[in-house]
Amino acid sequence: MSETRPPLTLLIAAPRGFCAGVDRAVRIVELAIERYGAPVYVRHEIVHNKFVVEGLKAKGAVFVPELDEVPDGVPVVFSAHGVPKAVPAKAQARGLNYLDATCPLVSKVHRQAERLIEQGYHILFIGHEGHPEVIGTFGQVPEGRMTLVETREAAESIAPQADERLAFLTQTTLSVDDTAEIVGVLRRRFPAIQAPRGEDICYATSNRQAAVKAIAGRCDAMLVIGASNSSNSLRLVEVAEREGARARLVARGRDIDFAWLEGVRTLGITAGASAPEVLVREVVDALAQHFEVVEEPVDGVEENMVFKLPAGLRAA
């Protein structure tokens, strides 16, 4: 006689998974392959998700770390995270046909940075060192005109020149709460600091963090589906833990540690903005092999944001 499976209630966060910027970036690579034929080169991972990257590789995309590895005469796509100005300039100098898949909300931060520098400000940029989005944003302005602020402690200790006019901008995929703390410190220390025209943390990051907050208190544990190098996915783990839930990042269904779920009766599930819904269903199916799963519907903000494709691909 087969052993009965323990019951498990799943609270699946809404909204979750792909955002408009990720959807647009993936579509740009797919349409470029359709239009130009394989191979289409992509500088860096188009988005931070191995499943998505491997799927595009199977269709004919070739991912390379730097433009130098792109041969002459083939199209190249720049990732959703954005690139320094020097990269498209170099592509143009080589006569490469390039497509920019930078998320429009990241491009908005780039334009703000350029305007602030033109107006004579020094920018304090809140973000994570080494993240492609941070590298891309720093690459929009002359060296030395922007300073990275990673933590509240850094915000307390930063010492700009006395006569500098200061402004701040932020990476789009940060923790809403952590960023508010850092901004609070900067405003207290530098009351005249110029703020962004609008919120830099993108709608999808904010919405996904709010969705986790809405269910974390009802869960024994939470699984966040996403990649270990995905900033917005890592922030979702932190948000869940801050709300009192044990939380863990998993790339896909086969990565679930069932020993970790011992004694869990209500499990929250969400997915970072670069994780497709197919991976959510894969995780649910894997859980159903071990538990008697009941999915409890969760209402959340409805997202209907759509970003236009580059003009050259709209007809593809």
At residue 79, the pLDDT reads 95
pTM (predicted TM-score):
0.94
At residue 314, the pLDDT reads 61
How far from each other are the two terminal CA atoms of the chain, in whole angstroms? 57
Q: Which CATH number fits domain 7-18+204-296: 3.40.640.10, 3.40.1010.20, 3.30.2310.20, 3.40.50.740?
A: 3.40.1010.20
From the number of C-beta atoms within 10 Å of its C-beta (0-12, 13-18, 19+), residue 144 rates as: exposed
Q: Which residues are catalytic?
A: 133
Domain limits, the chain: 7-18+204-296, 20-103, 105-189
Mean pLDDT rounded to a whole number for the chain: 95
Calpha distance 100→120 (Å, rounded): 28
Which of the residues in the chain have pLDDT under 70? 1-3, 314-316
Q: Are strands 221-225 and 266-271 parallel, antiparallel or unpaired?
A: parallel
Question: By the 8 A CB rule, do 198 and 105 touch?
Answer: no
Q: From the CA atom positions of the chain, what is the Rg in Å?
A: 21
**Which fold, 105-189?**
Cobalt-precorrin-4 Transmethylase; domain 1 (3.40.1010)
Fold: same for 7-18+204-296 and 105-189: yes
Percent of the chain with pLDDT over 90: 94
At residue 18, the pLDDT reads 96
pLDDT digits 0-9 by tens, 201-235: 999 999 999 999 999 999 999 999 999 999 999 99
Enter the tokens of residue 29: 């690579």
At residue 4, the pLDDT reads 87
Task: Tell me which CATH code domain 20-103 carries.
Answer: 3.40.50.11270
Residue 297: is the preceding peptide bond cis (ω within 30°)?
no
At residue 1, the pLDDT reads 35
pLDDT digits 0-9 by tens, 108-137: 999 999 999 999 999 999 999 999 999 999
Question: By the 8 A CB rule, do 237 and 224 touch?
Answer: yes
